[in-house]
Amino acid sequence: MKVADIKKISVLGGSGLIGSGWATFFLWKGFDVNVYDINDALLQTAQERISGNLSYLADKGIITQQAKDNALGKAFYTKEIKDALCDVQFVQECAPEKYELKQAVLAALDQYGSKDAIFASSTSGLLITEIAKNSQYPERCIGAHPYNPPHLIPLVEISKGEKTSAAVLQTAFDFFKETGKEPIILQKEAPGFIANRLQIAIFREAADLVLRGVCTVEDVDKALCYGPGLRYALMGQNLIFQLGGGPFGLKGIMTHIGSTVEVWMDDMAAWKKWPAGFVDILQEGVNQEMANRKAEDGNTNEEISRWRDDKLLSLLKLINKV
């Protein structure tokens, strides 16, 4: 399988935020897309979300109205998995985060699809070796984890199983790169991959600071958003420290502040289990944070999501990713 051979894509689990986002992205890029979910109600949700996403891109001038209409015409919605897997070269699996469910849809691909079709799981952290362990063709299985919303965020974390072929891995990397994504490949399997592990490390420390009474939920979010978060949109932590060290680079800054940081680390969160009742405390703080936002920036999940997408588009334009 070569990138040029990929003409039709199946998105399995198309009604969720991730599945509908992936379907939006592939349609936007000109592919025929089979969108599968298990019943008519979920397919209706999928259609509404995908149509809404494409309309948003058209309203913002990212695509033309004609391109939107063309994209919508390339979508085929079905609750028959056999039909969803017919004549596709790439499968983006977006089933719930359980091994048995992902193994079941992979078994369906083995039964109904081409043996050459690439199977890409959107899993947030499950191991591809385990997902593919019962497959007739484990060599065609990869992880392709997006970040929400998938049609806007460029990152795709590509992971491999013990039996994934090097050729499939390279084809998947080239495919995502050519469609405008920013793919990275994990050199070995790791639960949670890369970005989620970084995200959870930050979240654990943020939660600990709130639980210890150091700051409010709103203030810990402000600290991240208006401090390092602004730089994170442009560069990663290692490059940030490289610049922070001036002419001496990353090595210089760590030599300068390394012993001080060790004192911080002694005081930082190290727990491995979520503290009892922590989620209720954080939810109350988030509710208050949302209520405190300016009306024009949104106060509900839906309003804030739209505000987020508007700002993401501005950032993506700034860094030439859209």
In a 3-state reduction of DSSP, which class is residue 291?
helix
- Phi, then psi, of 10 in degrees rounded to 5: -110, 130
Cβ(307)–Cβ(297) below 8 Å: yes
d(CA 115, CA 139): 10
Structure tokens at 235: 């560069």
Question: Helix 278-292 and helix 195-211: axis angle, to 10°?
Answer: 90
Instruction: List Cα–Cα distances, 55 to 48, 269, 318, in angstroms.
Output: 10, 43, 22
- Give residue-wise pLDDT tens across range 221-256: 999 999 999 999 999 999 999 999 999 999 999 999
- Give residue-wise pLDDT tens across range 273-296: 999 999 999 999 999 999 999 999
Residue 173 amino acid letter: F
Q: Exposed, middle or buried, 88 (CB in 10 Å: 0-12/13-18/19+)?
A: buried
Structure tokens at 84: 């969803």
Q: What is the pLDDT of residue 212?
A: 97
Q: What is the pLDDT of residue 1?
A: 86
Average pLDDT, the chain: 97
| Nearest residue to 81 (alpha-carbon basis) of 47, 107, 115, 120 | 107
pTM greater than 0.95: no
d(CA 233, CA 315): 8
In a 3-state reduction of DSSP, which class is residue 234?
coil
d(CA 180, CA 322): 8
Q: What is the pLDDT of residue 300?
A: 98
**Strand 141-146 relative to strand 155-160, pairing:** antiparallel
Cβ(117)–Cβ(109) below 8 Å: yes
Residues 6+ apart with CB under 8 A from 294: none
Q: Any idea which residue has 């080239």 for tokens? A: 174
Q: What is the DSSP letter of 296?
A: G
- Give residue-wise pLDDT tens across range 73-92: 999 999 999 999 999 999 99
- Phi, then psi, of 255 in degrees rounded to 5: -65, -35
Per-residue pLDDT of the chain (322 residues; tens, 9 = 90+): 899 999 999 999 999 999 999 999 999 999 999 999 999 999 999 999 999 999 999 999 999 999 999 999 999 999 999 999 999 999 999 999 999 999 999 999 999 999 999 999 999 989 999 999 999 999 999 999 999 999 999 999 999 999 999 999 999 999 999 999 999 999 999 999 999 999 999 999 999 999 999 999 999 999 999 999 999 999 999 999 999 999 999 999 999 999 999 999 999 999 999 999 999 999 999 999 999 999 999 999 999 999 999 999 999 999 999 9
Spell out the domains of the chain, with CATH numbers in brackets.
3-185 (3.40.50.720), 195-318 (1.10.1040.10)
- Give residue-wise pLDDT tens across range 260-270: 999 999 999 99
